[in-house]
Amino acid sequence: MKAVERRLVRWLPRRVLVLLVAVALAQAVLVVVQADALARAVAGLDARLLPVVAAAVAGRAVLAWAGSGVAGRAAAGVKARLREAVLARAGAPGAAGGGSAGGSGGGRVTLLTRGLDAVDPFFAGYVPQLVAACVVPPVVLAGLVAADWASAVVVAVTVPLVPVFGALVGLRTAEWTGRQWELLRRLGGHFRDVVAGLATLRAFGRTGHQSAVVRRLADEHRRATVGALRVAFLSSLVVELVCALSVALVAVPVGLRLLDGRMELAAGLLVLLLAPEVYAPLRALGSRFHASAEGVAVAGEVFAVLDSPAAPTGGGRVVAAEGPPEIVLEDVTVRYPGADRPALEKVSLRVAPGERVAVTGPSGAGKSTLLLVLAGLVTPESGRVLVDGVELGELDMAAWRARLGWVPQRPHLFAASVADNIRLGAPDAGDERVRQAARAAAAEEFIEELPDGYATVLGDGGAGLSAGQRQRLAIARAYATDAPVMLLDEPTARLDVRSERLLVDAARRLLEGRSAVVVAHRPALLSVADRVVRLVDGRLVPGDGTGARPSGSFDESPGGRCGGGVAA
Ligand code: ADP
Ligand code: MG
């Protein structure tokens, strides 16, 4: 067994293995009883033994049913626990990419859904068969020794050939299935990216190219699948051949001895009935092995995820205190995978309890990245983030996020009712609380104009709402959580003057009495902040911004507070 398989088996509860061994032992004994009764019944033309045969057959069927039931239940349990373990990792994406990075997301989704189901054949098929292959042959061989030791010797010598030939072919299969899985994963990742960017692709007339890429990947996957099947069929052919030849080696001498009268008919029949039973579990093991190979490849991926360096959920035991904390960034540097330039470079910033800091800067300066770092969704390459003096990596992430309100640039609204979208972060919030949040977010007016008010079910992604309305729903959502720290990324879309004023009013009420880091593209929003800092190319630019109030020096939109902003 390979290391991955050993590790996978360790996820099975011990009592399941004990049960499987017990079932296999009972089956082996029934095989011998059945063969013995059948041989004597035929040789002696004795019908009284037939009920024994029937009972043995029925017993084997019941045992097979019980065994697969036990294994199936165990497989479901192991899958659930593996999914939980992977999800726990996915919940706090680490240095590898952060919540917004696309690359590994599709792969992770494939892994959690279709991918993990592939371990079913491993637990429900391969493991029970492996137990049977270890337990049944020795027992049946013992029965064979009692019947005729010469035949037993032939069987004992040829039996090891089956696993040897099986393994030789199996090595190739493992290689093929690994390739097939890798292709499926790439296909999943690519497909997800394409779907996410469909609108953009259509706008630029690139859909044709993308469908060609998907077709090519699907084609490669098909070819890898057929290749794996070919090897699997070849291997069962080889194993069948070895078994057939081995049984023949036993059968021919038995036949000759029966002709010579050197052997009793009952004994000869018993040998002929038992010999194939020694090989049977090993033969079945081969095909079960091939059926489980994909699952093993997937398990390898799962373990790679579980072994990857811990994201900041880590052993987070320290739970932060209530109320707005002091947040300090010390020389924080963030580099996205594959980027040559860091998105943030040696950024140091202190947000005092209850202070509201606005971050300005041109597009791509790293403003959103700064918020992702504070939310623990992106892990800095170097530097420290301290919350009340405790490093972010040591905080209990769930508790920290519970203290954060998050208003992203493009808030995601789910295809659920308006009220449910607002209470996303506070599932226990009652209707009154939801209304209060909507009122604070200046969203009440437009919500009440919707066909079913708060019960209106939104389209996917909040279709049917304007950018400003979506943003205000996101503010209501943050408001409902009552979190002491707010992270707010102003929408870059151009808003009309009224929407902008509503948004700024809503933001002002949201930030009342809380700490906040607010990404602001327009001067209007700066008025809610106590202090403004400016990011350029991932670096905090000194001089500007450390002053108390925003001045007119604001490159995206010079002019007063009413000047419409230009999207950053
Ligand atoms: P801003 O919000 O100021 O416009 P961002 O923080 O979104 O800037 O991005 C900062 C830099 O990091 C940009 O150069 C951007 O291209 C890059 N970047 C942002 N997100 C990712 C990501 N998920 N993967 C790789 N690069 C990214
Ligand atoms: Mg941004």
Q: What percentage of the chain reaches a pLDDT higher than 70?
A: 87
Q: Does residue 313 lie within any of the structural domains?
A: no
Same domain for 356 and 394? yes
Nearest atom in ligand 1 to the alpha carbon of residue 409 is 2
Spatial separation of the C-alpha atoms in residues 231 and 235, rounded to whole Å = 6
Confidence of residue 103 (pLDDT cuts 50, 70, 90): very low
Same domain for 35 and 69? yes
Spatial separation of the C-alpha atoms in residues 462 and 451, rounded to whole Å = 15
Q: Are 512 and 484 in contact (CB under 8 A)?
A: no
Report the nearest-CA residue for atom 23 of ligand 1. Answer: 101
Q: Does residue 348 lie within any of the structural domains?
A: yes
Residue range 251-310, pLDDT digits in tens = 999 999 999 988 889 999 999 999 999 999 988 887 787 778 778 888 888 888 777 655
Is the pLDDT reported for residue 457 higher than 90? no
Q: Does residue 231 lie within any of the structural domains?
A: yes
Same domain for 7 and 82? yes
| The two three-digit tokens of residue 195, written as one number | 């779907």
Mean pLDDT to the nearest integer, 12-35: 93
Same domain for 438 and 530? no
Judged by average pLDDT, the poorest of 3-17, 409-423, 543-557 is 543-557
Q: What percentage of the chain reaches a pLDDT higher than 90?
A: 25
Domain containing 296 equals 3-306
CB atoms closer than 10 angstroms to residue 304:
11
Same domain for 91 and 138? yes
Handedness of CA 33, 38, 44, 47 (dihedral sign): positive
Number of domains the chain is built from = 3
Q: Ligand 1, from 344, 367, 369, 487: best to mutate by most atoms within 8 Å of Cβ?
A: 369
Is the pLDDT reported for residue 25 higher than 70? yes
Spatial separation of the C-alpha atoms in residues 290 and 296, rounded to whole Å = 10
Same domain for 227 and 159? yes
Spatial separation of the C-alpha atoms in residues 278 and 310, rounded to whole Å = 47
> Of the segments 31-40, 210-219, 396-405, 468-477, which one has the largest average pLDDT value?
31-40
Q: Are 530 and 355 in contact (CB under 8 A)?
A: yes
Q: Does residue 425 lie within any of the structural domains?
A: yes
Same domain for 216 and 86? yes
Q: Residue 367: CB within 6 Å of ligand 1?
A: yes
- Residue 552: the pLDDT is 40
Same domain for 396 and 419? no
Residue range 424-443, pLDDT digits in tens = 888 888 889 899 899 888 88
Å from CA of 556 to ligand 2 middle = 14
Q: Are 330 and 383 in contact (CB under 8 A)?
A: yes
Same domain for 11 and 107? yes
Q: Does residue 505 lie within any of the structural domains?
A: no
* 144: Cα separation from own chain's centroid: 49
Q: Does residue 510 lie within any of the structural domains?
A: no
- Locate all alpha helices (DSSP H) within 457-563, ordered by sequence: 467-481, 497-511, 523-526
Nearest atom in ligand 1 to the alpha carbon of residue 363 is 4
Confidence of residue 356 (pLDDT cuts 50, 70, 90): very high
Look over the chain and give the mean of its residue pLDDT values, rounded to a whole number: 81
Same domain for 243 and 358? no
Residue range 142-200, pLDDT digits in tens = 999 998 888 999 999 999 888 888 777 777 777 777 777 787 777 777 777 777 777 76
Same domain for 477 and 567? no
Å from CA of 334 to ligand 1 middle = 10
Q: Does residue 173 lie within any of the structural domains?
A: yes
> Of the segments 96-110, 114-128, 209-223, 239-253, which one has the largest average pLDDT value?
239-253
> Of the segments 153-167, 495-509, 553-567, which one has the largest average pLDDT value?
153-167
The CATH number assigned to the domain holding 378 equals 3.40.50.300
Spatial separation of the C-alpha atoms in residues 169 and 42, rounded to whole Å = 40
| The two three-digit tokens of residue 482, written as one number | 């009552």
The CATH number assigned to the domain holding 239 equals 1.20.1560.10
Domain boundary among 243, 277, 306: 306
Same domain for 467 and 329? no
Q: Residue 369: CB within 6 Å of ligand 1?
A: yes
Q: Residue 363: CB within 6 Å of ligand 1?
A: yes
User: Is the whole-model pTM more than 0.75?
Assistant: no
Q: Does residue 312 lie within any of the structural domains?
A: no
Residue range 306-318, pLDDT digits in tens = 776 554 444 455 6
